[in-house]
């Protein structure tokens, strides 16, 4: 065997190489303070390996970026672990950069002949930060999209070259496929390549100059292997443990049954949507201090806070070898570095507190936006994980056609000027379906057409309440008169069994009418007999057909058609045009026709698709995963 190695060494000289690599001289013995550079190299190694594996599953384009990251995070085996490690190692790297820099400045390791290596280190720092910035966009989720938009807008503020540079990086004027392909090329090709070149120079110069040993020497001189390498390896393992802890942070509180991808590792927000504002747009944590500088310097043009101040700080770092030529300068460098680090921490805390204090309106808005974004992200994952999967148009198309998330938005935009949508019984105050209106001028459409809703309509007190006709012209209308003359008087006059009998009759009518809607959530098989009784009462005893049409009885014209009341078709037709003969041809109270022209979709307030979404949402009909399906699931 040894003959083989002799031969190999003769042909390659590998023994000298290995010896040079392992037996670097370390004056004064191995120390923990020398580990920072090695931990950074370790992190870079982790990023290269995990990044290459991510690359094998990532597809940069507008319709596939989020989708492929979703697939990694939620479907592929331990994809959440891979993404989490890549994400949090990036965080670790930024922190380790700061520590490495601090150690270099305290030890004065920038002094002759190490100036150039110090500058190479600063270049490496910029490359690492650029890697972090470009990586943030690649999942193409809302937070990455909006934060990076701010970052590239700031890039355009650099005098002269900024604007063309921005177009080159973005790949055009607007964000699109080429923004992703270019960011990806930077993130996975250009920047790591540069980093490798500069890292090689950094290490070569480091070896050439030797370690800047800390005086006084506490131990006899030693070599890199094994004394210092042991410390370095232990430090790397410690970094690894910290990263794993961050990835698994939510594990103790993880809900059983929910896939780990939804709970662990790096967050994946809802897919980027230029038409959906994101009030929680913030840069990654380690850039938050720059964000805060920008806010503090709001009295100055943005170019000051975004370009000039960070540029000057960077310049002051590059000048350290010159400043450090004097004893006083060296102390100044240390104080200045510590001041910058403490300042960055303070600014980060300030920015964080401003967003998370929960008392200011700005903070409440931010937190609400975070929750909304979180819900939307979960919903997108739910839809993407459905058997029908993600269509070729991408995950955004899933959200566009989802009644559960589009419904409240459409309702807010088109209906909530008059109608509210709140649970009269209180219910969950944070429900995304709860849309309160300060002064509603029309009925509350919560569970419109359900038994509960119709029962209120037939209740002499409730019908004149703001949840029903209280704030409309119908308060003085025929229906209220009828309820008062018939139901209210009967309820007052009747006693005992007769009263119970009458109440049962009202309930029959309610059940019969609610069954017209065909709501899945209202379907109960053993109610058939009561539906028949209720239909009978609608026609005969209650004589609803004096005003309303109900199947083959009664006529249109006086009051809304009760045939198929609150069914899909009924709602669609009613919202399209409430003044249609079927509904309120004479007595419509201010409600506009939303889709009056069926032959010219462009002339309508709502598109057919939007109206369908709105109807589905009002009826509580949308996709829910089987495990948690509610009664309203399709």
Partner 1 sequence: MNSLSADTSSPSTQPPRRSFFARIAATIAGGIALVFPFAAGSGVLFDPLRRRKQEAAGDEKQMAGYSRICALDALPADGMPRQFVVTADTADAWTRTRGQHVGMVFLLRKDEGGNPKVSAFTATCPHLGCAVEFDAAVDQFECPCHVSGFAKDGRKLFGPSLRGLDALDVKLADKGGTQEVWVAFRHFRAGVAERIPVG
- Which stretches of the chain bind partner 1, using CB under 8 A? 62-63, 146, 149-150, 153-154, 156-157, 163-164, 167-168, 170-174, 176-178, 273-282, 291, 294-295, 297-303, 305-306, 362, 365-366, 369, 400, 413-414, 417, 592, 597, 600, 602-605
CB 263 within 8 A of CB 254: yes
Nearer to partner 1, 62 or 214 (CB): 62
3-state secondary structure 423-471: CCCCCCCCCCCCECCCCCCCCECCCCCCHHHHHHHCCCCHHHCCCCCCC
Q: Closest by alpha carbon to 209, among 19, 25, 21?
A: 25
Minimum distance between the CB of residue 79 and partner 1, rounded to whole angstroms?
26
CB 596 within 8 A of CB 604: yes
Residues whose CB is less than 8 angstroms from the CB of residue 193 and which lie 6 or more positions away in sequence, other chains included: none
What is the C-alpha to C-alpha distance for residues 248 and 39, in angstroms, rounded to an integer? Answer: 21
Assigned token pair, 214 = 């800390």
Full DSSP string of 166-197: HHHHHTSSS-SHHHHHHHHHIIIIIHHHHHHH
Nearer to partner 1, 284 or 508 (CB): 284
3-state secondary structure 360-410: CHHHHHHHHHHHHHHHHHHHHHHHHCCCCCCCCCCHHHHHHCCHHHHHHHH
Q: Closest by alpha carbon to 125, among 177, 194, 188?
A: 194
Nearer to partner 1, 175 or 550 (CB): 175
Residues whose CB is less than 8 angstroms from the CB of residue 362 and which lie 6 or more positions away in sequence, other chains included: 354, 355
First to last CA, the chain: 72
Nearer to partner 1, 174 or 552 (CB): 174
Minimum distance between the CB of residue 592 and partner 1, rounded to whole angstroms?
6
What is the C-alpha to C-alpha distance for residues 407 and 299, in angstroms, rounded to an integer? Answer: 41
What is the C-alpha to C-alpha distance for residues 555 and 560, in angstroms, rounded to an integer? Answer: 10
Minimum distance between the CB of residue 177 and partner 1, rounded to whole angstroms?
4
Minimum distance between the CB of residue 60 and partner 1, rounded to whole angstroms?
12
Minimum distance between the CB of residue 350 and partner 1, rounded to whole angstroms?
13
Minimum distance between the CB of residue 178 and partner 1, rounded to whole angstroms?
6
Q: Bridge-partner residues for 223, per DSSP?
A: 25
CA dist list (Å): 217 to 27, 214, 270, 412:
7, 7, 55, 72
**The dihedral sign for the CA sequence 76, 81, 83, 86:** negative
Minimum distance between the CB of residue 354 and partner 1, rounded to whole angstroms?
9
Minimum distance between the CB of residue 149 and partner 1, rounded to whole angstroms?
5
Minimum distance between the CB of residue 104 and partner 1, rounded to whole angstroms?
33
Minimum distance between the CB of residue 596 and partner 1, rounded to whole angstroms?
8
**Residue 499 neighbours by CB distance under 10 Å:** 14
Nearer to partner 1, 74 or 605 (CB): 605
Minimum distance between the CB of residue 291 and partner 1, rounded to whole angstroms?
8
Nearer to partner 1, 327 or 359 (CB): 359
Nearer to partner 1, 284 or 561 (CB): 284
Nearer to partner 1, 301 or 427 (CB): 301
Nearer to partner 1, 116 or 297 (CB): 297
Nearer to partner 1, 29 or 302 (CB): 302
CB 228 within 8 A of CB 30: yes
Nearer to partner 1, 79 or 440 (CB): 440
């Amino acid at each position: 065997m040894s003959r083989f190695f002799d031969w190999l060494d003769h042909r390659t000289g590998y023994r000298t190489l290995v010896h040079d690599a392992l037996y670097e001289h370390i004056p004064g013995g191995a120390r923990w303070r020398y580990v920072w550079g090695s931990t950074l190299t370790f992190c870079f190694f982790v990023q290269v390996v995990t990044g290459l594996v991510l690359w094998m599953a990532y597809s940069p384009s507008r319709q596939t970026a989020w989708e492929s990251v979703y697939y990694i995070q939620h479907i592929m085996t331990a994809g959440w672990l891979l993404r989490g490690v890549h994400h949090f190692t990036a965080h670790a790297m930024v922190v380790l950069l700061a520590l490495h820099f601090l150690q270099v400045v305290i030890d004065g390791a920038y002094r002759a002949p190490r100036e150039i290596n110090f500058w190479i280190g600063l270049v490496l720092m910029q490359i690492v930060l650029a890697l972090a910035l470009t990586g943030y966009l690649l999942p193409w989720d809302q937070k990455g999209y909006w934060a990076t938009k701010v970052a590239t807008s700031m890039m355009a503020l650099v005098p002269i070259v900024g604007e063309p540079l921005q177009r080159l990086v973005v790949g055009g004027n607007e964000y699109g496929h080429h923004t992703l392909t270019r960011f990806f090329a930077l993130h996975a090709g250009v920047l790591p390549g540069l980093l490798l070149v500069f890292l090689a120079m950094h290490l070569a110069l480091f070896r050439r100059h030797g370690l800047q040993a800390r005086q006084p020497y506490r131990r006899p001189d030693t070599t890199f292997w094994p004394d210092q390498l042991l410390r370095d390896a232990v430090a790397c393992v410690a970094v690894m443990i910290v990263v794993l802890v961050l990835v698994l942070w939510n594990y103790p509180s993880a809900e059983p049954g929910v896939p780990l991808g939804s709970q662990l590792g790096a967050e994946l927000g809802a897919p980027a949507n230029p038409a959906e504002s994101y009030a929680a747009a913030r840069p990654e944590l380690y850039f938050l201090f720059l964000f805060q500088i920008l806010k503090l310097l709001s009295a100055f043009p943005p170019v000051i806070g975004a370009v000039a101040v960070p540029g000057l700080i960077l310049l002051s770092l590059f000048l350290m070898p010159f400043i450090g030529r004097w004893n006083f300068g060296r102390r100044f460098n240390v104080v200045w570095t510590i001041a910058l680090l403490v300042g960055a921490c303070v600014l980060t805390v300030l920015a964080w507190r401003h967003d998370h204090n929960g008392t200011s309106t700005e903070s409440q808005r931010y937190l609400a936006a975070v929750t909304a974004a979180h819900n939307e992200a979960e919903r997108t994952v739910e839809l993407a994980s459905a058997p029908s999967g993600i269509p070729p148009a991408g995950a955004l198309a899933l959200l566009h056609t989802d009644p559960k998330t589009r419904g409240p938005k459409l309702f807010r935009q088109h209906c909530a000027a008059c109608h509210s949508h709140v649970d009269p019984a209180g219910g969950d105050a944070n429900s995304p379906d709860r849309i309160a209106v300060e002064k509603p001028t029309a009925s509350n459409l919560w569970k419109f057409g359900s038994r509960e809703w119709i029962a209120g309509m037939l209740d002499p007190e409730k019908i004149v309440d703001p949840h029903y006709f209280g704030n409309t012209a119908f308060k003085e209308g025929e229906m209220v008169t009828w309820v008062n003359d018939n139901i209210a008087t009967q309820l007052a006059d009747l006693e005992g069994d007769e009263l119970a009998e009458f109440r049962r009759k009202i309930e029959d009518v309610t059940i019969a009418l609610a069954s017209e809607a065909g709501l899945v959530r209202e379907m109960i098989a053993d109610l058939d007999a009561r539906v028949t009784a209720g239909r009978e009462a609608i026609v005969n005893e209650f004589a609803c057909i004096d005003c309303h049409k109900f199947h083959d009885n009664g006529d249109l014209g006086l009051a809304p058609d009760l045939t198929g009341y609150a069914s899909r078709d009924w709602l669609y037709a009613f919202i399209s045009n409430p003044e249609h003969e079927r509904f309120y041809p004479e007595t419509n109270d201010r409600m506009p026709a939303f889709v009056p022209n069926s032959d010219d979709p462009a002339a309508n307030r709502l598109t057919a698709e939007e109206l369908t979404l709105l109807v589905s949402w009002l009826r509580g009909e949308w996709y829910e995963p089987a495990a948690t399906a509610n009664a309203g699931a399709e």
